[in-house]
Structure 1
Amino acid sequence: MPLPFSIVLWRSCSDRIRPGRCCLPAFRHLLYIQERGGVMQNMNAAVAEMATDDAGGRARFWTQMHALFLKNLSFQRRNARANATIAAFPVLVCVLLFGMQSVLDMEMGKPQFRCGCACVRCEPGTGACADTECGIQYSTPTQAPTCAVPRPQRWPALVQVPDAQAHQLWCQASGSWPDCPVTVLLTGGNRQLSQGLGMGMFPILTPGVTAVNSSNFFDDLSTAVPLGSSTPPAHVLNVEPAFAPNETLYVLQPQCLWNSGTVSATYNELPLQYYVECVQAQPLWCDNSSVINQQLFSGYKGANKWGRSNEILAGYDFLDTSMTSLQVYISYNSTFSWDDGDDDNGDDGSMTVLRVPRLVNMASTAYLKLLLGADAKMDLDYLKEMPKPETKMTMDLTPLLDPLFFTWVVQLLLPVTVTLLVYEKEHKLRLMMKMHGLKNAPYWLITYAYFLCLSTAYITLLMIFGSLLGLDIFRLNNYGVQFIFYFTYINLQIALAFLFASFFSSTKTASVISYIYVFGSGLLADSLFVYYIQDTTFPYKWLVTMELFPAFSLYRGIYDLAGYAYAGRYLGNPGMQWTDLNDLLNGIKDVLVLMSAEWIFLIPVAFLLDHWPVWQWNPLSLYRLLSTKRSQLSGTLNEVNSKSTRVSIDMAKPDVFLERKVVERLLKKKMGKRGMVICDNLKKLYPGKNGNPDKVAVRGLSLALPRGQCFGMLGPSGSGKTSFISMMIGLQMPSYGTAYIDGMDLRKDMDEIYANIGVCPQHDLLWETLTGREHLMFYGRMKNLTGVALTKAVEESLKSVNLFHSGFGDKSASTYSGGMKRRLSAAIALIGNPKVVYMDELSTGLDPASRRYLWNAVKQAKKNCTIILTTHSMEEADELCDRVGIFVDGDFHCLGTPIELKARYGGTWILTIMTEPKHEGEVQELVNQLSPGASRIYSLSGTQKFTLPRREVGLDGVFRVVDMARRAFPVLGWGVAGATLEDVFIRVVKDAQISEEITLWEQLIAEQKSSAALVEQVDELKRKTEKTEREFEEFKKQQEEEYNKLREDIMRFSSSFVKSQSSTRVGLMQ
């Protein structure tokens, strides 16, 4: 019945993995079963192997994406409160602004901020007000701006005269204001024509031009000669501040031929009295416009040491003006174009109406008179505001906050993103994922997608609630323009966060630096960059260059959005629309292009820096990029350079030499690397710093480990174990040599190796908010486990480390004890049937019961994999390890099974005898007769322990002593033990230290052999060295003899024991 089985087998395969990938091995097993007529056991083996092939190996890209997505989903679900707080922050900001705005609106709605009213008719008898009238005439200066102006007043066109308190830069020190001329700078293509126009701009005031007491006095005066004022201009022309009480009007004349004085006149049906003063106006020729610009700049009060401004009224560049055309470029004082709200008038920072029209009229009138004669006129009769209804006084917080405040609000996601990225790096969580096969691309995509979703929600809520609460920057501007701008920036900000994260390894440092960047860049943009935006003469290319800084790009975009929103509020326009992106002064389009280009550039840069951090940049970091031939050449050169040293070392350590020969023999075989962990002459060299010599951490390590073996690495701290493990798990590249994991080269196939190894680090690398089951589900998916196989593997792993019962597997790791976390780390390393498992300090901090559970799990797992265990627990090594290597100073000093090492390096027997206290002396006498070198190390109430040198007594001698004691007096109990693994470790380390001291002495002798005063000491040291070497050789020989003798004693004892058991059974049968 092969056909039904074929169908079932094919269906099982197609359900799990797409056909053509895993079904060929299954089909091969099927053919084998059909041809051989196999039984069900063979079929089970075939299915089991197929499942193993399916589960093992490297997880595909989308499998890793799926695993990481589900893990992050669980992680973020348990951090929902923190995520909600981040997303709700813009809502809180908008609500706060709305509350503050509501309080201000209520305050502005009080009578003192509304148009003033007066009672114009009272009720007869009662005196109650029957009718009121509101208007400017009844209002205070604070109330006047809110009043209706159906017929705005006319005001003479004035020029802005420099302030008298700070302008005397060119005047003599003793000069007063009337003696200091107001200068007009002139230049142009035709000097004679330009100077003539300059003189014609200031006609001489002749007597009889206007009657002093006439109602048209100021209209006639302003059309005859230029009038000026140093009073700051108003925001609207409903009231001209120059005509306020106690203000001075200036008449600009080529020469002052009449005295200043007070003038009384009627204007706008109001009797007014003003002080009119004559000021000399002096046109001054300049060679070109550059000279004008230089003079204007040097006259700015912040550009000279006196802190005073010059007397320049304006600058005129008549360009190519001729008798047939007028071309003029006018430079004027724009200081008051935007009031910063710091003056004494309580200005709110809105735009002002500058006194520029009169400057234009002066040039056009002078040109007209030059062409047509003195009688020709082009009068500018008056200026007036547009009619307006009664308005409500408001104080909008948005202009006060834009764009600095919202620049900060949008950028506040940057520290959050950087901190989360650095957290996984600082706590080695990302490293742990990488060691279990996670590649960089899935991690980047999932993490980027999470931050993009969080940032999009953040910006969307900011826009929605800002609009609902009436913030103009969100309400008036087109939502599509806003979203595209903010969406482009948050993508750039996420890329910037990945870039920042590559430079930090501490969460606290990353957070502090990120917040400094956010607030510092915002302040820098608002205090410096904004002036370059407002300066229309600033070169465009330099403005774009400055906008390459991401914070400046954000600020520029918000600045333009705020400007369009402000103009829309006061002019009734809709704000920024798509068509407005083509405006000459609109920088949104340029910013969008810049941010998109920066994002495209920063993503690969951040990826490379994340893959190779900056602090790891050195020549060795490029090792990954070297070709196979280069690597092989380096290994060959290394072997040549170290050949003599290696031979001398290996001859002193025959077991290490034999291991190297095994490695060489396996590497020569075509399939010798399969199913093996092979280290071929691994070396790790750390370059010296600050003049210190290079540090050799691993010195040509060679090792061959078959599948199903647990190998224990023992060694003191600093011996190089960590460097060896770091190379094997890909954290560091070997300086020389390589290693093979099931045929995969450590130098070239690290990505494939990650998918076939498990790592249990010394410190537990866990997510505190995830449960033990979720940890195992994630790492199981990384090992390509799915469906029922994944669920079964997770449950078995939890059971194997005693975390299944009592619901511990479904509790968060933060509630685990240290021992439970350790067991979970071991389960993570073992899940998915990895081919090699690295375990560092496996049972540290565990109680005996937990340690026994963990040991049983390791024993069960090592049947199908190779385990490399580093530990300081000799009990653990003795229990778990099939072979042990003692690693000292970067190299193995011995290799073998625990029994072999104890037999080889154990120098004593430990004999324990329990008798009545009165027989203690007899026991000690018998022991001393047997071994003169014996010593008693313990004695209490008849229980005694003795150490017996193996060179004096064998195991059969110990049995004879016990037998003699039994014949002489009662022996309550006895026992004999060989040396422990700890004794072996201490002995090997001590021998290594002695060998190192000998080497140091030899070096010292070589350095000081030329000194005559040290000749005797050198000879003595040589003799000691030779004596030590002879004793060491004798000791080795003696150890080999004792080891052979021990084997004979054991065999003889076993034979006699079997015979005695046989005779006992015969006696019982009889």
Structure 2
Amino acid sequence: MAGPSHGPASFWTQANALLRKNLTFQKRNMRTNILLVCYPALLCILIVVFQHVYDNVIKHAKKCDPTTNPNCPTPEIPITPPLLQVPRSPYRAVRTDFYPFNDLPDESCRRNGSCPATILLTGNNHSLGEILAGTMITSSLNTSQIMTSYNDLASVAANVLGSSSMPPQDLIPLKFLDEIIYLVQRQCTNNFLTNVVDLEMAYDFLNSNKNNFNMSIWYNSTYGQTGDNVLLRIPRSVNLASNAYLHFLQGPGTQILFEFVKDMQQRTVFPNLDIASLVGPLFFTWVVLQLFPVALKSLVYEKQQKLRIMMKMHGLGDGPYWMISYLYFLFVSLIYMLVFVASGALLEMWVMVMELYPGFSLYRGLYEFAQYAQLDGGMRWEDLNDSENGMKEVLIIMFVDWLVVLFVAYGIDRVVSPGSGVRRRKSQNSQKKPLLSFWKPSLQSKDSTLNVQMDKADVNQEREKVDQLLHESSTSHAIVCDNLQKIYPESDGNPEKLAVQGLYLTVPRGECFGMLGPNGAGKTSFINMMIGLTKPTTGTAFVQGLDIRTHMNEIYTNMGVCPQHDLLWETLTGREHLLFYGRLKNLKGSALTQAVEESLKSLNLFHGGVANKQAGKYSGGMKRRLSVAISLIGDPRVVYMDEPSTGLDPASKNNLWNVVKNAKQDRAIILTTHSMEEAEFLCDRLGFFVDGSLQCIGNPKELKARYGGSYVFTITTSSDQEEEVENMVQHLAPSASKVYQLSGTQKFEIPKSEIRIADVFQVVETAKRKFTVFSWGLADTNMEDVFIKVSREARQSNALT
């Protein structure tokens, strides 16, 4: 099949093999990978499109004329005098049943529009309030002076002007004179321009004094308003109170002139909307979390299909696996996030930094991004030094988490074996040791095992051979099983199951040993212990002198496995599978190419493009042949084959048998099968397993001679002749026993020592003269008869015990 592997593969050789396999695997998913990487860019484009539609289609669906529509933005904002908030006459305070204050006017003033506005001043310091109220509203101009001085805003600023919150027309300052303007004074006067009244407003000076200025201003902005065209004239109110307090401290010569304001309508038909800021945290989460299922799917797929343990069985160490897996997904993540950041920078310029996520700090980072997304340009590199956001700490946590999670995952994998939950024991020394150095722990484990009754001479002989080999410093036997036992604990109300009990077995190099037995006998449990999928309950086994309990990693480098179910990557071809596993066995260059080609040709996977077809498109028989080729690539010293010919047609089965028969030279093969023909053709020795224990062991000829010292006589007649046929056989051979009877067909076992073949022919010819014989036959014992007889006797013995 292949030349020597020149020793176990190094760390970097294994890493190279895994990396090549991953790259080949991803080539089969190129379309999916491209879509995945482009996913962030697609989302960024969608956000830009939605923002454009909102800003240019929805928000400005109708053209806006600021001269006719007050909701349109004003192109130029001229300056205007600052005005006080003066309620319109219908909304000024009057005396009612609810407000029976004597200083309020009667409501009859509303009919002629003569209701004054009222100002309320409160505070803890009443004397201070009175002083401030006396200097808050003064006037040095009369109405005619206001008319002539209107263009001089500085002179108007020394007076107090007021206006309603709801101008009769537009806010546009050019129409300022269309409004009703009030010259606010402490005493009322009437003239043609204004109705000068007191202001309706409340000033609460709280705890103000000469060392402390603390004030609240109350005003009414809810009178009869419809939600449109309402202005709140607040700055002038604040200026009056501030000026009054300044006069109190510094005297009347000091004041703050409030010359003009630029009033601008704030309401628009549609508010400004930043879609990126609105969906930012959720958008980031969508993008980042897309990578998680990609990595998870790959790891779970390898675990579910048992490809992870399959790679370990062919020599792939934990170090190369986790290094390549980590670097591979890190590289994919970096490319993914680079596309994300680049797309955001080119399309919106509101995302400059985004890193990979560890869960607990993700949302904090997203929050910071969302805050900066509202600013022009988003978060920049220099913003990392901003103590207000804490993004630097988030990024440091993320970086540290990547390292920590890597080593935690590696540590967990070291403690729990993939695929089975086997807890590892710490290996004290990875170097090969004599079997004798492991013998005492093995003997100690025997004390805790069940006392298995072993009354079979061949089985006892095998046990004695194991004890002898354990005392030798070296041996040519590749496999030595010492009291191997597996007990599955009780669960879900089911009692504990003794799958393998007290197994002693030796398999030398160059031998193919066949494990035979009915379903549930324990064959697969035995194989699983030998390949490291499950841990022995007690006892142990040595492979090439290494203990399976502590040195499985070293055993994997010289082991090949053909599992019961095909463990293959569906998107890799047969050739790519063999290249990968060949590299794990340290094959390189021309030796690797030659080994792969020979494997493909020997198992009829070379012609017709089969070698370059993806394994997912293989038939069941082709997958089985590929699994056998994988188990033999790289010249392993020990090979386990669990029913290798299942699903093969007769021609392919015969070809596979020849391959296995040639491959057993200088290597040990343990094979399980239900085909007695296959066992007899391939196996040098056979062991029959029933109910977890070895019942007999020997080569096919020995077993047939031991359990087949009889002929099998089969005869078919009518049902009413069955008793006469049975009497005939008993007369021919008194020790004959009937083993089968159904509708006139009967089968008897006749000891060879009691009859001659000629006697059988003579008895049948005589019977034909008396009644009708439809068919009959006489056969020597075959392996199927041995299988049935051994299984029946073992179960009868177990039932009695």
Normalising by the smaller structure, the TM-score range is 0.7 to 0.9
Are 2:3 and 2:595, in contact at CA under 8 Å, matched by a contact in 1?
no
* Deviation digits for residues 701-746 of structure 1 (CA, Å, limit 9, x no counterpart): 2211111111222233333333222221112222322211111221
Are 1:720 and 1:890, in contact at CA under 8 Å, matched by a contact in 2?
yes
1:567 pairs with 2:376 = yes
Q: Are the structure 2 counterparts of residues 322 and 212 from structure 1 closer, same or farther at C-alpha, using a change threshold of 3 Å?
A: closer
* SS at structure 2 position matched to 1:112: coil
- Aligned mate of 1:649, from 431, 449, 453: 453
Counterpart of 1:779 in structure 2: which amino acid?
Answer: Y
- Aligned mate of 2:27, from 49, 73, 77: 77
* SS at structure 2 position matched to 1:829: helix
Alpha-carbon distance in 2 for matches of 1:442, 1:635: 33
Counterpart of 1:845 in structure 2: which amino acid?
Answer: G
Root-mean-square deviation (CA, aligned residues, Å) is 5.5
* Equivalent in the alignment of 2:330: 452
* Equivalent in the alignment of 1:398: 276
Aligned length: 729
Are 1:682 and 1:736, in contact at CA under 8 Å, matched by a contact in 2?
yes
Counterpart of 1:605 in structure 2: which amino acid?
Answer: V
Counterpart of 1:863 in structure 2: which amino acid?
Answer: Q
- Aligned mate of 2:367, from 545, 549, 556: 556
TM-aligned CA deviation for residue 819 of structure 1: 0.8
Are 2:122 and 2:203, in contact at CA under 8 Å, matched by a contact in 1?
no
Alpha-carbon distance in 1 for matches of 2:164, 2:613: 80
Q: Are the structure 2 counterparts of residues 595 and 631 from structure 1 closer, same or farther at C-alpha, using a change threshold of 3 Å?
A: farther
* SS at structure 2 position matched to 1:621: coil
Are 1:212 and 1:265, in contact at CA under 8 Å, matched by a contact in 2?
no
| Structure with the larger helix share | 1
Gaps of 5+ in 1: 1-47, 117-135, 159-173, 187-194, 232-237, 252-257, 285-315, 334-342, 347-352, 387-391, 475-481, 497-547, 569-574, 915-919, 1000-1070
* SS at structure 2 position matched to 1:472: coil
Q: Are the structure 2 counterparts of residues 911 and 230 from structure 1 closer, same or farther at C-alpha, using a change threshold of 3 Å?
A: farther
Within a 5 Å distance, the mapping from 1:836-851 to structure 2 comes to: 836-851=638-653
* Equivalent in the alignment of 1:281: 204
1:818 pairs with 2:620 = yes
Gaps of 5+ in 2: 86-97, 105-118, 219-225, 265-269, 431-435, 717-721, 769-774
* SS at structure 2 position matched to 1:752: helix
* Equivalent in the alignment of 2:350: 473
* Equivalent in the alignment of 2:138: 209
- Aligned mate of 2:9, from 51, 59, 65: 59
* Equivalent in the alignment of 1:140: 69
Alpha-carbon distance in 2 for matches of 1:362, 1:207: 6
* Deviation digits for residues 814-864 of structure 1 (CA, Å, limit 9, x no counterpart): 221111111111111111111111111222222222211221111111123
* SS at structure 1 position matched to 2:541: strand
Within a 5 Å distance, the mapping from 1:124-139 to structure 2 comes to: 136=66, 138-139=67-68
Alpha-carbon distance in 2 for matches of 1:687, 1:184: 87
Counterpart of 2:76 in structure 1: which amino acid?
Answer: A
Counterpart of 1:949 in structure 2: which amino acid?
Answer: I
* Equivalent in the alignment of 1:721: 523
Q: TM-score, normalised by structure 2?
A: 0.75
- Aligned mate of 1:586, from 383, 386, 389: 389
Bigger mean CA deviation after superposition, 591-600 or 620-629:
620-629
Counterpart of 1:112 in structure 2: which amino acid?
Answer: K
- Aligned mate of 1:112, from 29, 53, 62: 62
Alpha-carbon distance in 1 for matches of 2:694, 2:629: 29
* SS at structure 2 position matched to 1:549: helix
- Aligned mate of 1:422, from 300, 304, 327: 300
Q: Are the structure 2 counterparts of residues 945 and 401 from structure 1 closer, same or farther at C-alpha, using a change threshold of 3 Å?
A: closer
Alpha-carbon distance in 1 for matches of 2:625, 2:500: 30
Q: Are the structure 2 counterparts of residues 978 and 400 from structure 1 closer, same or farther at C-alpha, using a change threshold of 3 Å?
A: same
* Equivalent in the alignment of 1:708: 510
Alpha-carbon distance in 2 for matches of 1:185, 1:598: 60
Q: Are the structure 2 counterparts of residues 969 and 152 from structure 1 closer, same or farther at C-alpha, using a change threshold of 3 Å?
A: same
- Aligned mate of 2:484, from 682, 707, 725: 682
* Deviation digits for residues 186-238 of structure 1 (CA, Å, limit 9, x no counterpart): 9xxxxxxxx7699769943679635898689999999999999999xxxxxx9
1:875 pairs with 2:677 = yes
* SS at structure 2 position matched to 1:473: coil
Within a 5 Å distance, the mapping from 1:154-233 to structure 2 comes to: 203-204=132-133, 209-210=138-139
Q: Are the structure 2 counterparts of residues 746 and 175 from structure 1 closer, same or farther at C-alpha, using a change threshold of 3 Å?
A: farther
Are 2:206 and 2:215, in contact at CA under 8 Å, matched by a contact in 1?
no
1:86 pairs with 2:36 = yes
TM-aligned CA deviation for residue 770 of structure 1: 1.3
TM-aligned CA deviation for residue 92 of structure 1: 2.7
1:640 pairs with 2:432 = no
Q: TM-score, normalised by structure 1?
A: 0.58
- Aligned mate of 1:597, from 400, 405, 410: 400
Q: Are the structure 2 counterparts of residues 616 and 431 from structure 1 closer, same or farther at C-alpha, using a change threshold of 3 Å?
A: closer
Higher RCO, 1 or 2 (CA under 8 Å, sep at least 6)? 2
* Deviation digits for residues 475-506 of structure 1 (CA, Å, limit 9, x no counterpart): xxxxxxx3xx43xx22xx4xx6xxxxxxxxxx
* SS at structure 2 position matched to 1:713: strand
Are 1:199 and 1:283, in contact at CA under 8 Å, matched by a contact in 2?
no
Within a 5 Å distance, the mapping from 1:821-836 to structure 2 comes to: 821-836=623-638
- Aligned mate of 1:891, from 656, 680, 693: 693
* Equivalent in the alignment of 1:297: none
Are 1:910 and 1:945, in contact at CA under 8 Å, matched by a contact in 2?
no
Alpha-carbon distance in 1 for matches of 2:570, 2:731: 64
Bigger mean CA deviation after superposition, 75-84 or 369-378:
369-378
TM-aligned CA deviation for residue 680 of structure 1: 1.5
TM-aligned CA deviation for residue 601 of structure 1: 2.0
Alpha-carbon distance in 2 for matches of 1:599, 1:428: 26
TM-aligned CA deviation for residue 551 of structure 1: 2.6
* SS at structure 2 position matched to 1:788: helix
* Deviation digits for residues 268-287 of structure 1 (CA, Å, limit 9, x no counterpart): xxx99999633463738xxx
1:957 pairs with 2:767 = no
* Equivalent in the alignment of 1:291: none
Are 1:660 and 1:702, in contact at CA under 8 Å, matched by a contact in 2?
yes
Alpha-carbon distance in 2 for matches of 1:707, 1:275: 116
* Equivalent in the alignment of 1:732: 534
1:767 pairs with 2:598 = no
1:981 pairs with 2:783 = yes
Q: Are the structure 2 counterparts of residues 411 and 936 from structure 1 closer, same or farther at C-alpha, using a change threshold of 3 Å?
A: closer
Counterpart of 1:908 in structure 2: which amino acid?
Answer: S
* Equivalent in the alignment of 1:532: none
Bigger mean CA deviation after superposition, 811-820 or 600-609:
600-609
Are 2:247 and 2:253, in contact at CA under 8 Å, matched by a contact in 1?
yes
Alpha-carbon distance in 2 for matches of 1:838, 1:816: 23
Alpha-carbon distance in 2 for matches of 1:357, 1:704: 105
* Equivalent in the alignment of 2:110: none
Identity among equivalent positions (%) equals: 41
Q: Are the structure 2 counterparts of residues 143 and 715 from structure 1 closer, same or farther at C-alpha, using a change threshold of 3 Å?
A: same
Are 2:458 and 2:698, in contact at CA under 8 Å, matched by a contact in 1?
yes
Alpha-carbon distance in 1 for matches of 2:349, 2:545: 67
- Aligned mate of 1:413, from 291, 306, 324: 291
Q: Are the structure 2 counterparts of residues 903 and 378 from structure 1 closer, same or farther at C-alpha, using a change threshold of 3 Å?
A: farther
Alpha-carbon distance in 2 for matches of 1:272, 1:448: 82
TM-aligned CA deviation for residue 806 of structure 1: 2.0
Are 2:121 and 2:203, in contact at CA under 8 Å, matched by a contact in 1?
no
Q: Are the structure 2 counterparts of residues 280 and 429 from structure 1 closer, same or farther at C-alpha, using a change threshold of 3 Å?
A: same
Alpha-carbon distance in 1 for matches of 2:675, 2:564: 13
Q: Are the structure 2 counterparts of residues 812 and 272 from structure 1 closer, same or farther at C-alpha, using a change threshold of 3 Å?
A: farther
Are 2:302 and 2:308, in contact at CA under 8 Å, matched by a contact in 1?
yes
* Equivalent in the alignment of 2:115: none
